[in-house]
Amino acid sequence: MRRILIERARRRHALKRGGNAEHEPLEESRLALAAPTDEMLAVHEALDQLAAQDPRAADVVKLRYFAGMNMPEAAAALGIPQRTAERLWTFARAWLRGAMK
């Protein structure tokens, strides 16, 4: 899912596709996020660095940010307790904030 969303964000920025031209929004699926494409690309790049440091935290971010899962769904998908997923999410958000600045 992450690769699909990142490729979609890259296509939106391509000059061949209109670059920064204003687009008419079409109906988005439940999984397509309303996050700006710049933010999505920045998270994608920082997420690779986070995965090298803490792969489980990166997995939680992928499920929450890119797949749109809530905390209980993400914890169940990873097979970890919800409290552990919450701790990983808190760590990952702080780490990503620092990496994206």
CATH number of 90's domain = 1.10.10
pLDDT of 17 over the 70 cut: no
Q: How far apart are CA 26 and CA 40, in angstroms?
A: 18
Enclosing domain of residue 68: 2-19+36-100
Residue 14 lies in a domain: yes
pLDDT in the model for residue 16: 59
Span 33-60, mean pLDDT?
86
pTM above 0.85, yes or no: no
Alpha-carbon distances, residue 39 vs 6, 16, 35 (angstroms)? 11, 21, 7
Residue 28 lies in a domain: no
SS3 (DSSP) at 25: coil
Q: Which residue has the higher pLDDT, 33 or 56?
A: 56
The residue count of the chain comes to 101
